[in-house]
Structure 1
Amino acid sequence: MSTIILGIESSCDDTSASIIKNDTILSNVIAGQAVHEAYGGVVPELASRAHQQNIVPVVHQALKEAGVKVEEVDAVAYTRGPGLMGSLLVGTSFAKGFALARKIPLIEVNHLQAHVLAHFLQKPDAQRPVPSFPFLCLLVSGGNSQLIVVRSPLEMEIVGQTIDDAAGEAFDKCAKVMGLPYPGGPLIDKYAWEGDAAAFQFSKPRIAGLDYSFSGLKTSFLYFLRDRLKENPDFMAERRNDLCASLQRTIVEVLMDKLIKAAKETGIKEIALAGGVSANSALRAAVQDMERRRGWRTYIPDLALTTDNAAMIAITGWFKYRKGEFSSQEAAPFARMP
């Protein structure tokens, strides 16, 4: 029997709504917020106000594109956290009101779990391979860097995570130091294509186990750039591409070293990428290279599903719907992992 889920995502600066039928995407609408570019990062107050303006039109568009009527929706899934509290409140309030008015189940979703389960989304016109359980997922985004053993859609164990900054944060903050506009990560990836990845060396953290750290790398990059600019005021303009390529290589090597170690320790060869930084071309290439060299079976999400989107919320909601895991109207959003 078919189940139609409305997904709502509002954890940061993108307002998104999606309609899925079982595991198949019927629509996935995202409204961005260009207002933050002038500030070099997301301004929480501005983000929540923009969500209030966008949420109704985005849901309307998602239903329209999917060809689904409001009364055909079986359940509504929403991001409960983690994320920006003001942004989460907008999505949570809308989802609760929608579910209450329609008298349908309300399903809370952990944003990070949803990034992992995006691998199980299908398109109407093409079936894509999905990971077999258990699989190991490297989740990398602006706020999180985690290694997760996924034993089932709703059973996951974090075996390694950042102890300070995330990989995406390192990309964006180093880009800001270079004078690149927000978001800087995609621009570093773009300029790195024309640069020499071996031109410069930056310090790598020495963290035991499977945990990550990127704060030292950011500091190393900042001091390196400051010293070079003292010697040559035109250094940035002359070596921008090499800087981007070298920085990107370093971050990818840090991520891959721990991923390889985790795969060895767990014995798992089903390897998946997830999160916004999984769109980085060098990281995707590194994982595919390990597939050839180590016999991994790798799963890399479509670019449209790497960033925050409601389809990943909806698919997580679908798995929970089948288990009867529903949320109450009293559930409050959470900004950080509980």
Structure 2
Amino acid sequence: MKKKPVILGIESSCDDTGVSIIRGRDVLSNIIIHQKIHKKYGGVVPELASRLHDINITKAVKKAFLSARVTRYQIDAVSFTLGPGLIGSLLVGASFAKSFSMGLEIPLLTVNHIQAHILSHFIRNANVNNSYPKFPFLSLVISGGHTQIIKVNDFFQMEILGTTLDDSVGEALDKVARMLGFYYPGGPMIEFFSKNGNNKKFTFSKPIVNGLNFSFSGFKNDVSQFIIKKLKKNTLFIKHNLSDICASIQKIIAEILLEKVKKSVIYTGIYRIVLAGGVSANYEIRKTFMSFAEKHKKYEIFIPNKNFTTDNGAMIAITGLFKYERNIFDSLHVTPYSKFKTFSL
């Protein structure tokens, strides 16, 4: 029987330090160390994030090896996030991965962060279907930094069909949450308070954007004006209506995303949809897409299990695995990039 490659994956694109070890498509360990300090600043502070990655990465790697019950000499290759992300944070992960590669004389594999979110669905039992999506498919990538619709023809053949023209959906949720008095990250707080709310209580305008692109700045401003107007009449408006406000916000966000996906299906003729990224953990978005697929049998929806939605090392490791199987190795001279680059190799 052919030996399954053992890959070490390192994710450090933002504020989460993720380290994972996989054997083939099976996850042996998946360690994530969160940086809670950013809450008091209302967002991620890049300099603090890189400093904490420097402290946390060794801890995360040690925990990953202990949990996986393998030694460093059993690792066949090391993969890491090259970009996009915060350059200081990326450099910490890159430096560690390069040193690990040199020290053990094993291949180095660079990974595109967005591509990794999509390919996390190829980890065994990584989504609610417990199956792998077949090519081609459309992926809706929704996170704190990205909102994109991507046509996926193969592991390394992807085409961006639509992207946000301003804020990402996660960024918009965090900014709206701040208007409601929540601390960063605010998206999960909106979800929490929405559970007992009436999502039809308040209505907000949907942005009109041509094609498959997104825009959330208008939506954000609409919510802001709504709150300001209501507070002028009643200073306790938010307190008395918090759950209904949160539920109504989530409903409109989910509808905006679904409508764009439906347009992308008409454009491509592809009915297989894969959700990816941190915001895909949102209950209302998941429910909206699953309910739609149940009513429209042509659609096949893949939704990641929640432990594979946020940034993690397993998604970096699985993408590295596919490069390893194709003998696509990288040089020690590669340089991380902060802004989005093409998927082409």
Which residue of the partner structure matches residue 80 of structure 1? 82
String of CA shifts for 1:212-231, please: whole Å, max 9, x gaps.
00011111111111111111
> Does the residue aligned with 2:273 lie in a helix, a strand or coil?
strand
Contact 1:20 1:26 in 2 (8 A): yes
Question: Is 1:322 matched up with 2:325?
Answer: yes
Q: Distance in 2 between matches of 1:214 and 1:123?
A: 33
> Does the residue aligned with 2:138 lie in a helix, a strand or coil?
strand
Question: Is 1:303 matched up with 2:306?
Answer: yes
Q: Distance in 1 between matches of 2:265 and 2:295?
A: 13
Q: CA RMSD in A?
A: 1.3
Instruction: Look up the equivalent residue of 2:296 and give its one-letter code.
Output: R
Contact 2:30 2:64 in 1 (8 A): yes
Instruction: Look up the equivalent residue of 2:33 and give its one-letter code.
Output: A
Cα displacement (A) at 1:164: 0.8
Q: Distance in 2 between matches of 1:323 and 1:7?
A: 17
Cα displacement (A) at 1:123: 5.4
Contact 2:129 2:302 in 1 (8 A): no
Q: Distance in 1 between matches of 2:246 and 2:41?
A: 22
Give the direction of change, closer, same or farther, for the CA distance of 1:127–1:161 in structure 2 (3 Å limit): closer
Q: Please, which of 11, 14, 19 is the counterpart of residue 13 of structure 2?
A: 11
String of CA shifts for 1:141-165, please: whole Å, max 9, x gaps.
0111111111111111111111111
String of CA shifts for 1:178-222, please: whole Å, max 9, x gaps.
111111111111111111111112121100111000011111111
Contact 1:25 1:123 in 2 (8 A): no
Aligned residues: 337
Cα displacement (A) at 1:127: 9.4
Contact 1:141 1:275 in 2 (8 A): yes
Contact 2:125 2:131 in 1 (8 A): no
> Does the residue aligned with 1:205 lie in a helix, a strand or coil?
coil
Q: Distance in 2 between matches of 1:170 and 1:246?
A: 14
Q: Please, which of 333, 336, 340 is the counterpart of residue 337 of structure 1?
A: 340
Which residue of the partner structure matches residue 247 of structure 2? 245
Which residue of the partner structure matches residue 271 of structure 1? 273
Instruction: Look up the equivalent residue of 2:47 and give its one-letter code.
Output: E
1:144-293 alignment runs, 5 A limit: 144-293=146-295
Matched residues, percent identical?
48
Instruction: Look up the equivalent residue of 2:337 and give its one-letter code.
Output: F
Instruction: Look up the equivalent residue of 1:101 and give its one-letter code.
Output: G
1:85-164 alignment runs, 5 A limit: 85-122=87-124, 128-164=130-166
Q: Distance in 2 between matches of 1:245 and 1:64?
A: 42
Contact 1:52 1:90 in 2 (8 A): yes
Q: Distance in 2 between matches of 1:27 and 1:123?
A: 14
Q: Distance in 1 between matches of 2:249 and 2:125?
A: 35
- Worse-matched range after superposition: 287-296 or 156-165: 287-296
Q: Distance in 1 between matches of 2:8 and 2:66?
A: 12
Instruction: Look up the equivalent residue of 1:62 and give its one-letter code.
Output: A
> Does the residue aligned with 1:175 lie in a helix, a strand or coil?
helix
Cα displacement (A) at 1:128: 2.0
Cα displacement (A) at 1:55: 0.4
> Does the residue aligned with 1:331 lie in a helix, a strand or coil?
coil
Instruction: Look up the equivalent residue of 1:329 and give its one-letter code.
Output: L
Gaps of 5+ in 1: none
1:47-86 alignment runs, 5 A limit: 47-86=49-88
Contact 2:137 2:272 in 1 (8 A): yes
Instruction: Look up the equivalent residue of 1:327 and give its one-letter code.
Output: D
Contact 2:167 2:217 in 1 (8 A): yes
Cα displacement (A) at 1:242: 1.0
Q: Please, which of 21, 24, 46 is the counterpart of residue 22 of structure 1?
A: 24
Instruction: Look up the equivalent residue of 2:322 and give its one-letter code.
Output: F
Gaps of 5+ in 2: none
Contact 2:137 2:270 in 1 (8 A): yes
Contact 2:39 2:184 in 1 (8 A): yes
Q: Distance in 2 between matches of 1:205 and 1:87?
A: 33
Cα displacement (A) at 1:9: 0.2
- Worse-matched range after superposition: 260-269 or 307-316: 260-269
